[in-house]
Amino acid sequence: MKYLEHLSLEEFWTRTLQEVDHVHAQAEQTERELSATERNALLQSLASLRHDGPLADSAEDHICRVETILAEAVYRETTGFRGVFDGHDDPDHGAVGTVRAVPVLSEQGHVLEDMLQDFRMIAAMRAALSARIIAILYKVDCIWKNIELIWIFMVWINNCICGCFKADRLPEIRNGQRDIWHQHQPG
């Protein structure tokens, strides 16, 4: 995921759509792992993500639906649990860490788990892509607000110095900013 930070926005968008295509292709081959109803719902949601894009208004619903279907299918394919040590061996204190219960999956469960992990990667990419776009829009909005304020200030200064601008000759700007114009007209 770290290398995605260095991609341009266009490359990042393309990579996200390629991942959606990859998971869609995997889902088309899941005839044994999913019921017909689940497979149909999964393919419809993935097709919507492919068609509308991962940032569309309906994308969050489709992402939740796909993740729920896959997580439930993985759970059904769990045959048991085994303990796995998560920690390190300390020379003074011995083994330091915890034992986690990791599911033991059937062969079909492994296929579904791989698909679920790939889809969670898409969800993470979508969140990162959304954050980058919001940051860009925020920067543009800040720049635009500064330009508007500078324009108003320049018009006000010009009016104060030479009195040659009148409010009715200005281009249409927001009402609040026009009020600022009227408040500072020399009388």
pLDDT in tens, 56-111: 888 889 999 999 999 999 999 999 999 998 888 888 888 888 999 988 999 999 99
pLDDT in tens, 42-68: 999 999 998 988 888 888 899 999 999
- DSSP 8-class letter at 87: E
Indicate the pTM of the whole model: 0.67
How many Cα atoms sit within 13 Å of 27 on the Cβ side?
27
The pLDDT > 70 percentage for the chain reads: 79
The tens digit of pLDDT for each residue in 25-41 reads 999 888 788 888 999 99
For residue 67, which amino acid is it? E
For 7-29, give one letter per residue: b (16+ CB within 10 A) or e: eeeeebbeebbebbeebbebbee
How high does pLDDT run on average in the chain? Answer: 81
* CA dist., res. 12 & res. 136, Å (int): 14
Q: Are the CB atoms for 128 and 3 separated by under 8 Å? A: no
Q: How confident is the model at residue 172 (pLDDT cuts 50, 70, 90)?
A: very low
Give how far Cα 92 sits from Cα of 86, 88, 96, 97, 183, Å. 18, 12, 10, 14, 76
Nearest to 130 by CA among 66, 57, 187, 64: 57
Determine the pLDDT at residue 21: 93
